[in-house]
Amino acid sequence: MTPKPLIARFVLVASAVCAPLCAHTPLFTDGPAFGGSEVFSEGMNPLANPARFSQAPTGYYFTYLDGDQRAKDNKSILNNTSSADPATASAALGQLANAPWALRTRAYGFTALKSGGALGLTREELNGIMAHPDLATADLGSGLGANQSSLDGRRATVDRLNLGGGGPLEKGSTTALGVSLRVERWEMGQATLPFNPPPSPFGGADGLLGGTGTTLGSWNMALDAGIVLDLAQGVRLGLSADQLNAKHLWDVYLQPQFRAGLQLDLGQQTKLSIEGDVNSAERMPLPVKQQSASASLRFTLSPAAAFLVGAEQKKLAGVSQTFFGGTLMVRTESILLGIGFNAGQDRPMKGATFMVN
């Protein structure tokens, strides 16, 4: 099959899947944000399907990622709320209802993989903002002085120890199972910006994404599980679940979230993965329901290189935004290097993976 039909088919499938539907952090450039998959993971990400741990070569893996994901035009709308013109500020508050959220992520970590077993230490620093605009007619225009809009800023950090294993049930089996246990130390902080008194401070909202400090701490233990099985030659079904033991972390309810996916081999060099969260669930740092869906293509360019490209739609508090990402992976017998990029606004997310065997 030639590249053009492949790309056209991918775009159509991605649009169809993402139209109706927050994913895990793409540690080790392994996940939908960087064109990969969570259900059909490359096997490095301790937050992805543990049934895929056996897919990654034995080695010591290191990762770093940093960047933002925002609702469309979130930053410029926030800036416009600070306008001295009541009409401009009122219009911006109305637009903010359709673009209320922004997330900033920084993460780094280490994991060791061998024979389907995974042991790792990772740290994530998550900053989020969620706007709550007051759109009452009496509080807009000349009534802005009474407007009760606010901006909720959250910071959460987590230091995580994960231990898991996964792979085929037996030699030659086409069914793989996996489980993973995560022990996490969370810290959280919160700051609220009121719209009044004027001028509105919302234009400086990026300061909240830089970190509000943390004042609360708690432990969390989470159990994840997954399965991948062949339905037919070149057709795979995958299911994964995270946080099977529900728990409240402050005002965030961490309930189980289930994810399903289908993977198709399009010839010997290309795989198409389509997946999505079955249910919505709250995840740190914001106490709002999150859900995502994605479609991606994995091109094997040569025995030493692969290119992943995909689209992911994130839905927070009912407001969706679609992102596009890609990753180039180069490997030899003893070294793997992955560079990933997620297209976005202002400060796109980028990540890197390095492995030595």
Alpha-helix runs per DSSP H in the chain: 3-18, 74-80, 86-96, 206-209
CA atoms within 13 A on the CB side of 2: 2
The pTM for the full model equals: 0.88
Q: Check residue 72 and report its DSSP letter.
A: T
The rounded distance, in Å, linking the Cα atoms of 87 and 107 is: 40
* Type of residue found at 303: P
The rounded distance, in Å, linking the Cα atoms of 74 and 237 is: 36
The rounded distance, in Å, linking the Cα atoms of 250 and 217 is: 9
Tens of pLDDT along the chain (357 residues) come to 444 444 333 333 333 333 333 457 999 999 999 999 999 999 999 999 999 999 999 999 999 999 999 999 999 999 999 888 999 999 999 999 999 999 999 999 999 999 999 999 999 999 999 999 999 999 999 999 999 999 999 999 999 999 999 999 888 889 999 999 999 999 999 988 899 877 777 877 777 887 768 889 999 999 999 999 999 999 999 999 999 999 999 999 999 999 999 999 999 999 999 999 999 999 999 999 999 999 999 999 999 999 999 999 999 888 999 999 999 999 998 999 999 999 877 789 999 999 999
The rounded distance, in Å, linking the Cα atoms of 136 and 92 is: 14
Q: Say whether the peptide bond before residue 199 is cis (omega within 30 degrees of 0).
A: yes
3-state secondary structure of 45: coil
CATH class of the domain defined by 3-356: mainly beta
Q: Check residue 62 and report its DSSP letter.
A: E
Please report the DSSP string for 176-197 in residue order: EEEEEEEEEEEEEEEEEEES-S
The rounded distance, in Å, linking the Cα atoms of 124 and 157 is: 6
The rounded distance, in Å, linking the Cα atoms of 11 and 5 is: 10
Q: Is there a contact between 278 and 293 (Cβ–Cβ < 8 Å)?
A: no
- Residue spans of the domains in the chain: they are 3-356
CA distances from 328 to 29, 37, 99, 199 (A): 9, 14, 31, 46
* Type of residue found at 264: L
Please report the DSSP string for 114-181 in residue order: ETTEEEEEEEEEEEEEEEE----GGGSGGGGGG---EEEEEEEEEEEEEEEEEEESSTT-SEEEEEEE
3-state secondary structure of 110: strand
- Helix and strand counts by DSSP (H, E) for the chain: 4, 17
